Chains A and B, each alone.
Chain A
Amino acid sequence: MERRELLGRVFEPHPASPGASRYTNAVLRTQNNETVKFYDDLIRGKQCVVNFMYAECHGSCPAVTQTLKTIYRELKDRMNKDLFFYSITTKPEDDTPAALKHYAETRNADLPGWLFLTGSQYDIETIRVRLFGMDHPGLDGDLTLHSSYLRIINDARNSWGMAQAFASNRNILKRIAWQDPPKSYAERVVEARARQIIIEQEVKKYGYRRDIMS
C-alpha cells in the first residue's frame, strides 16, 4: 500500500462504477505489443478519452488524430498520470500492433499516455457499441459514424461525457475538464471568485457576460 502511494496516484474506481460489466475486460494489444485488459488496466479509476480510428482511414481520422495531438499538448502535465488517450482501431485485421506503431510514429503521436489499441473484431465491436451506442440500429451499425466522437470517461467519478472532435479545441478541453475529478468546495469557491472578476470586467466592457476569457 505504501509503495503504491509512493509510486504516485492510486486509481480507485467509483463504488457505483459498472466496471467491466459495461466497459468489458476485453484483452487488447497496444502499439508496443503489450497485452492490456480494457477495464482493469485502462479505465479503472482513471480519466480517459476514447476514440475509434483505423490506420488506412483518409476520412476524418487524420483530423481527429491531429486534434488529439493538439489537445495532448495542452494537457501535457496530466497525460500518463491521471489522463489517458485511447485510440481503438475498427479494422483490427489490418491494424496489427506494428501497423499502429507505424501509424503513431509517422504522425508524431507515439506519446506517453496515448495508446493505440487493437484486439479481436468481436471485442472491439462490443466496446464500440457500449461506448457510442445510440440505440439506433442504422447509426449503431455504421462503422464510420462514430469516428469523430470522443468519449470522455472518468471512472473515479463514474461519469462520462462526450466531445465532437471537430469542435474547437477549447470546446473539447472544456468538455474534458467537465469530467475532471471533483474539486473541494474551497477550490470551487476560489474558482468562482476568479470567474466573478472576469465576469464583471466583461459586463463593464461589453454590457453583458460574454465568457470569452473562461
Chain B
Amino acid sequence: MPKKKAKNRPEIENKTEGTISRRSVLKIGAAAGAAGVLAPKMLTSNEALGFQTIPEPDVRCVNTVPATPSPAHHPFLDEFTAPFPADDHPLNPQPTEFPNLGAGEADRAPHQRWAQFAPAHFTYDMSAQVGLHRFHSDYTDSYIWGFNGKYPAPTVFGKYGKSGIVRFRNNLPTFTTTFGRNEMTIHLHNGHHGSESDGFAGDFFGTGFWKDNLYPNCYAGLDAFGGNGDPKEKMGSFWFHDHRAEFTLNNNVLGMNGMYIVYDQTDPGHEFPSAGSLQLPGFYGVTDFPLILTDKRFCAPTATNPRTEMVNAAGGDKWICNGKIQPALTVRRRKYRFRILNTGPTQSYDITLIKPDGSVGTMTVIATDANFLEHPIPVDAGANAGNSNSTTAPIVPGAIRVSVAERWDVIIDFAEFPAGSRLYLRENRSMFVGNPSPVPLPPGLNIENVLLQFNVVNREPWFPPDTPPIPATLCTYPTLPATDNTWEWQFVLVGGRFRVKRPFDTVGCVFDPDHSAHCILRGTTEEWLINNNIASGWLHPVHIHFEEGRTLKRFVNGVEVPVPPLHSGRRDVYRMEAGQGALIKMQFRDYNGRYLIHCHNMAHEDNFMMVRWDICPDQASLDACIADQQVCELEMKAKESFRDEEVA
C-alpha cells in the first residue's frame, strides 16, 4: 500500500460516494505527475477492478423551447463502420433453468424448453453501464448508457440451430443525474422465445442484478415440425433494446440498443458458394452493414462541463448513423447489403439513394423486419416508383419509409458507378449542420438532408469480389393453417389519452402488467385487425412481440386498398398512419407466456399505448386468463360511470 499523504485528504473527502467530481479530476490533472495522489481515497469496486469511473453529468442539459440547435459539425469527417462484434465467452456462474437468485439473478419464470436448448452454444455477456461515446470528431465525448459501455451495442451473432444465452447485467449507476432510469428489461425484437427471455415491459430489474435471456435461435414451429422448427420461418436482422415501462424512450436515447443477427444456410454470413446459400453480400462490416438510425439533440460543452451531453428529446436535430453524424463509407464497385434499422425514438425516415447526377438510385429491398421477401423488390423513382410503401401519404419518389423499429434490408449495387463518384443517402427532413459540404453535392441535394456519403473506389485485389446477381426468389413463405379466432385492436386517443381498445370496450385499456387484454390458446392461428382510429395525423408503428404476421388486407378509413408491395412480406411492425388498418394473420405456438402489442413510437408506448396478451398452454389456463381479461376495461368503465354529463 502506498503511504497515505495527509495533505491530500481534505481534497478527497468532500466527494460523494463512488464518484469523483469533474472539478477534482481537473485538480488531479493539474497535479499531474504527483504519484499516488489517489491513494488515500477508498477505492470503489469499479476503480479497484480498473474500470474508468465516468462522472454523472452535473449540469443538466435540458430541452429548451424553442429548441437550441446542437453544435455545428463538419460533414463526412467520420468513417461509417459496423458496430464491433460481441465477444462470445463462457459465463460464470453457469446459466441455470431456474434463476440463480443467490448469485444476483433477477426473479423470472424458469426457462421454457431448457432441456431442448441448454447448454447454449453461444454465450454473451452484456453489461449495461455508463460509457463515453463521441458522436462526431468535432464533438467532445457524450455520456451514454450502453451495453459494455458502447454505443451502438456490440452486435450479437447467432446461428439457427445453435442456441444462445445473453446475460444482461444491470451495472447502471445506482445514483444518476441523467434522464434515464436505472432499471431495465431487454427485449429481443422480434425473437421466437419464451416470455421470460422476452423483456416484458413490467419485468424490469434494478442495478446489481442480471438476467439470462435464452435465445434458442430456432425457427418457429417447434411443436408442429419438431427439431429446430420450420426453416421457412427464417429471420435475420433482429435488434435488442431496453423495454422498461415508462422509460423506454429515455433509456434508448441514452443508447441501450443494438443489433442481433442470426445466420442460417441461405444467409450464412459469408459470400462463398455453399449448399443452399443465396450468396448475398454477407461479410459483416465489410460488405454487410447494419445501418442504425436515430436522431439526437446535443448541448454544447460549457465552462463547467467539457462533455457534449445529450438532451432528453423525442426528436433531435442530428441524424446518427451507427453512432456517427454524417459519416462517409468507402465502397468498392460491387454490391453491398445494409440492414437499415430505425431505433427512433419517435421519428420516421424517408430514405432515398442519390446518384452523382442528382437522380434517385435503386435500392433493392430483400427483407422487411428481418424476414426475406419472397422476391426482391427494387425501389427507385423511375420504373420501380410504384413500389412505394405508403398507402396514402405523399412520399418522396424512390424512398423507403422507415418507421421506428422497422428493419429494411436493402442491397445497393455500386458497380455501375465509376471510381471517384460519390453517392448519398438522403433523408427527407432536414437536420442542422452548420457547415457547408466539403465536396460539391449532386444537383438538388442539400447537405442538411444527407445521412451518409458513399465514396466509390475500384475493388482492390484483396477485397471480396462481387456476389452473383440477387436471386429472383429468396424464400418461400410457410402455408398458414385455417384461422381459429379473430380479434381486433384499435389504437385510439380518448380525450388526449393514448389507449388500446378492443371493439367491445367502451373506454379502452392502458398498459397493465398484471392483466392480460387477450388470451390465446397455444397452437392456434388468429386473424387480427389492427386499426389506427385516430383521424388527426398520429402515426403508430404497431409492434407485436413474439410472432411474425402476414398482412392479408390493408384499409384506409375502413376502405380496403391493395397491400403495398413492400408491406406484403412477413412483418412484426405494421406502420399505421392516421385512419389506416391492417388485417394480419399469425400463429401462436411453441411457448407460453405474456407478450405485448404496442405502438413502437417510444413516446407513445411510455404513455400507455401498450397492452399485454397471453399464450395459455391449456384450456384451464385459458379460462382463468379469460376470466381476468375484462379487468382492465371493467374498472375503467366503472370509473367512467362517475362522469355525470360532460360540461365544458
Please give the residue numbers on chain A whose beta carbons come within 8 Å of chain B beta carbons, in ascending order.
Answer: 14-16, 18, 56-60, 62-63, 66-67, 134-135, 138-139, 142, 144-149, 158-159, 161-162, 164-171, 174-175, 178, 182-183, 185, 188-189, 192-193, 195-196, 199-200, 202-203, 206-212, 214
Contact = CB atoms under 8 A, between A and B. Distances in A.
12 contacts: A62-B642, A142-B496, A144-B648, A169-B635, A183-B206, A196-B99, A199-B109, A203-B110, A207-B592, A208-B594, A208-B615, A211-B514
A209 B109 contact: yes
B62 A164 contact: no
Interface of B: 56-58, 60, 62, 98-99, 101, 106-110, 174, 176-178, 181, 195-196, 202, 205-209, 245-246, 314, 495-497, 507, 510, 512-516, 536, 592-594, 607-608, 614-618, 621, 624-625, 628, 631-632, 635-636, 639-648
A210 B208 CA distance: 25
Nearest to A145: B496
Contacts of B178: 16
Contacts of A159: 181
| Most chain A Cβ neighbours within 10 Å, of B62, B616, B624, B642 | B642
Given A144-B648, A189-B101, A210-B614, A66 B642 contact: yes
A18 B57 CA distance: 13
Contact of A196 (B60, B101, B516, B536): B101
A58 B512 CA distance: 27
A192 to B, nearest CB: 4
Contacts of B209: 188, 192
Contacts of A178: 245-246
A164 B478 CA distance: 42
Nearest 5 pairs of A and B residues by beta carbon: A145-B496, A63-B642, A16-B177, A207-B617, A208-B592
Contacts of A138: 536
A138 B594 CA distance: 36
A63 B514 contact: no
Contacts, number: 162
A170 B512 CA distance: 9
A169 B639 CA distance: 10
B614 to A, nearest CB: 7
A168 B497 contact: no
Contact of B206 (A59, A144, A188, A207): A188
Contact of A207 (B108, B616, B647): B616
Given A18-B62, A144-B495, A166-B636, A209 B608 contact: no
A193 B593 contact: no
B501 to A, nearest CB: 13
A146 B496 contact: yes
A210 B618 contact: no
A18 to B, nearest CB: 6
B621 A15 contact: no
Contacts of B514: 170-171, 174, 211-212, 214
B593 A135 contact: no
Contacts of B62: 18
A145 B635 CA distance: 20
B616 A208 contact: yes
Contacts of A147: 495
Nearest to A197: B107
A65 B196 CA distance: 37
Contact of A58 (B56, B495, B639, B643): B643
B246 A162 contact: yes
Contact of B640 (A166, A182, A214): A166
A209 B512 contact: no
| Most chain B Cβ neighbours within 10 Å, of A166, A192, A193, A196 | A166
Contacts of A209: 108-109, 195-196, 593-594
Contacts of A214: 514
Contacts of B107: 192-193, 195-196, 199
A59 B644 CA distance: 6
A178 B247 CA distance: 11
